[in-house]
Amino acid sequence: MTVTWEELGWERVAAGVGRCRLPGWDCTVGLVVGEGTALLIDAGSSLAEGTLLRRQAETLTGRRVTHLALTHPHFDHVLGAGAFADAEVYGPVGMAALFEQHQAREELRTDAIRNGLEAALADEALESLAHPRHHVSGEWTLDLGTGRQVLLANVGPGHTAHDLAILVPGDPEVVFCGDLVEESGEPQAGPDAVPSHWPAALDRLLELGGEDALYIPGHGAVVDAGFVRGQRDALARRFGVSQ
């Protein structure tokens, strides 16, 4: 029996492109279907959540998840990556090195527990964490078959020192923004944010997608270019960045 995207709690935003909003931290995960391939964008907050996402993605696509793109190194987006150890994992340059640093791993663990993840689940996820094998420093065109290509773009720093966006060409074009854009609350600027560069990162997102694209925030509902531009201006005012 065929299962629809909606039945599994996923929102189909374009042909072969969807996303879901995970419970708990309202984190967005994206899915792009290719020919015998499937790209997942972010992996959830724990190994169990990553495993569930993998099972759902494979049910929806009828194929295994072959590629995983991690938008930035925060626990709610990366700690499920261990469920995709056999996939080709992409991340912004510097993310893999960060995951290898003891202090950075401890900070990732502490942040997860402080936000409500059980310590045992955080430890399990860190033990199995899949590091990016492909390091995106500029732009990387990923071929998913049958003419479906996606563009991975290192548009940061901004929300963190390592921010990756994913452009899925089509009608409409879809841009997965990670937490550079948030709709369900004010954008979060933690100690690893680079506020002076954040508005420029949003300018880059707008250049990638254009006026008619759908922009998928890291948290919240799908937005348009006007929302991204408004958030860009608000961040520039908030952090005293020249517009």
Q: What is the pLDDT of residues 142-190, one digit of tens each?
A: 999 988 999 999 999 999 999 999 999 999 999 999 999 999 999 999 9
Q: What is the pLDDT of residues 11-31, one digit of tens each?
A: 999 999 999 999 999 999 999
Mean pLDDT of 59-72: 96
- At 131, give phi and psi (nearest 5°): -85, 150
d(CA 146, CA 139): 21
Band (pLDDT 50/70/90 cuts) for residue 2 is: confident
pLDDT, position 91: 98
The share of the chain scoring above pLDDT 90, in percent, equals 97
What backbone phi and psi angles, to 5 degrees, belong to 125?
Answer: -65, -40
Split at pLDDT 50, 70, 90, the class of 242 is confident
d(CA 209, CA 228): 11
Which two tokens mark 27? 């984190």
User: Which element (helix H / strand E) includes 174?
Assistant: strand 174-176
Q: How many CB atoms lie within 10 A of CB 133?
A: 12
Question: Can you read off the two tokens belonging to residue 166?
Answer: 């994913």
Residue 11, φ and ψ in degrees, nearest 5? -110, 120
pLDDT at 147: 82
- For residue 243, is pLDDT > 90? no
- Beta pairing, strands 139-143 & 149-154: antiparallel
Contact 46, 62 (CB under 8 A): no
pLDDT tens-digit series, residues 31-43: 999 999 999 999 9
Q: 77 to each of 33, 101, 135, how far by Cα in Å? A: 20, 18, 17
Task: Count other C-beta atoms under 10 Å from residue 132's C-beta.
Answer: 26
Residue in the block written with tokens 């600027």: 189
Rounded-to-5 percentages of helix, strand, coil across the chain: 35, 25, 40
Helix and strand numbers (H, E) in the chain are 7, 12
> pLDDT grade, residue 1 (50/70/90)?
low
- Under the banding of pLDDT at 50, 70 and 90, the label for residue 122 is very high
CA–CA dist 82, 103 (Å, integer): 20
Strands 164-168 and 149-154: antiparallel
Please give the angle made by the CA atoms of 227, 20 and 142, to the nearest 5 degrees: 80
